[in-house]
Amino acid sequence: MRVLYCGDVVGRTGRKVVTGLMAELRRRLELDFVVVNAENAAHGFGLTGEICEQFFAAGVDVITTGNHVWDQREIIPYIARETRVVRPLNYPEGTPGVGVHICSNGNGSRLMVLQVMGRLFMDPLDDPFAAAERALLNQRLGASIDCIIADIHAEATSEKMALGHVLDGRVSLVVGTHSHVPTADARILPGGTAYMTDVGMCGDYDSVIGMQKAAAIGRFVSKMPAGRLEPATGPATLCGVYVETDDATGLAVRVGPLRVGGSLVAQWPLA
């Protein structure tokens, strides 16, 4: 199976690069599924139902979120009924939405996507490790599910790596989101799970993690409010991670970063 996971989409320019390239990427990489993190897609803060529908229409199968999931209040009734939009699994019981989604494609292949949010330097949610364990309790990679992707939306690289090792051999891919900066450590762990500490963002990198530079820099220099943070609007780079799995086991046989467009050096996973 071939799956592409696209990093945090930031604002209009991020949405444009993802939706504009999706058909070509699906064809060129012969993708079975595409997952996109879209928690910053609505002008840098949260997402809306309308934006979700645009992604689905472009060919995205599952959308993940993170700590900005509730920034646009209108998403609450949408996410309560649309299970293809996944919020962190370790939110308290009763939170709208789901933290796990299972979908099938036309070939009958089954993909499971789960997301947890880290606790180091983040909101004090429930234990992400225990939440991931519960999600996998009744699923077996290569048997009930053909491919499992675990997104850890976290600040600390150590917490992301720890979850990667905990889940090694039981999921197809552990991918980190949230920092908006792609890491250079895409690899297959000893147990056969593909891993990347952070996939990066889909947005304008001539920025401060996707936001216009002046206001963001001003907050560091003056330690005072320096205007509203606004998404940068220059050409965007689409950052993602490609994983190819063994049909029998669901474990990874190939993994590599994808970078297309914008100001980052381009990289193609099949090169």
Average pLDDT over residues 11-36: 97
What pLDDT was estimated at residue 227?
Answer: 74
Q: What is the pLDDT of residues 37-91, one digit of tens each?
A: 999 999 999 999 999 999 999 999 999 999 999 999 999 999 999 999 999 999 9
What pLDDT was estimated at residue 222?
Answer: 86
User: What burial class does residue 52 get, using C-beta atoms within 10 Å of its C-beta: 0-12 exposed, 13-18 middle, 19+ buried?
Assistant: buried
From 43, 68, 153, 165, active-site residue: 68
What pLDDT was estimated at residue 232?
Answer: 92
What pLDDT was estimated at residue 215?
Answer: 85
Using the predicted structure, report yes or no on whether residue 271 has a pLDDT greater than 70. no
Average pLDDT over residues 10-23: 97
Q: Is the pTM of this model over 0.75?
A: yes
Which residues are 113's β-sheet partners?
101, 149
What pLDDT was estimated at residue 158?
Answer: 97
Of the candidates 78, 77, 76, 29, the residue with the CA atom closest to the CA atom of residue 55: 78
Report the distance separating Cα 152 and Cα 107, nearest Å. Answer: 28
Instruction: Tell me the torsion sign for CA atoms 70, 73, 77, 78.
Output: negative
- List, in order, residues 6 or more apart from 261 with CB less than 8 Å away: 17, 21, 235, 236, 237, 238
What pLDDT was estimated at residue 180?
Answer: 96
Average pLDDT over residues 149-162: 98
- Return the number of other C-beta atoms located less than 10 Å from residue 57's C-beta: 10
DSSP line for the chain: -EEEEE-EEBHHHHHHHHHHHHHHHHHHTT-SEEEEE-TBTTTTS---HHHHHHHHHHT--EEE--TTTTSSTTHHHHHHH-TTEE--TTSPTT-SSBSEEEEE-TT--EEEEEEEE--TTS---S-HHHHHHHHHTT--BTTTBSEEEEEEE-S-HHHHHHHHHHHTTTSSEEEEESS-S--S--EE-TTS-EEES---EEB-SSSBTTB-HHHHHHHHHHSS--S---B--SPPBEEEEEEEE-TTT--EEEEEEEEESTTSPPB-TT-
Q: What is the pLDDT of residues 209-266, one digit of tens each?
A: 998 988 888 888 987 776 788 999 999 999 999 999 999 999 999 999 999 999 999 9
Using the predicted structure, report yes or no on whether residue 268 has a pLDDT greater than 80. yes
68 is known as an active-site residue: yes
Q: Which domains, and CATH codes, for the chain?
A: 2-260 (3.60.21.10)
Average pLDDT over residues 150-164: 98
Using the predicted structure, report yes or no on whether residue 270 has a pLDDT greater than 90. no
